[in-house]
Amino acid sequence: MDIGLQELLVVGVLALIILGPERLPVALKNIMVWVSKIKSSFNSIKKEFESELDLDGIQQQIHNEKILKELGEPLEQLEENARKLQQSLIDLETPSNNLTAEVVDSTESNT
């Protein structure tokens, strides 16, 4: 609902012609009072619906879940890297244990 300057000008001229210069300010004041009442009614209804539906709580929960998901991804990556590092250490220990056993065996057989 886009109202331009030309439309407002036409409505203003028509109101001036129909109501006359004496009654136009009173009519505008009454219109503004009714618009204000309607806006406040809609705002109170909106607040009532929001409180009933607890939209703020739902939005906060969605935000928290999003943050937890974002934090969970790096945690999973760290756990995966730790597993890889642990496996690498195990892989490094195994050949060194075999090499140590071979050295001990060869020195025992030389003596």
Q: What is the DSSP letter of 54?
A: T
pLDDT tens-place string over residues 18-72: 988 899 899 989 999 999 999 999 999 988 887 777 777 777 888 888 887 777 7
**Does this model's pTM top 0.85?**
no
How many Å is the Cα radius of gyration of the chain? 40
CA atoms within 13 A on the CB side of 103: 6
- Helix (H) or strand (E) segment spanning residue 108: helix 55-110
Say how far apart CA 33 and CA 98 lie, in whole Å: 93
Cα gap 12→20, rounded to integer Å: 11
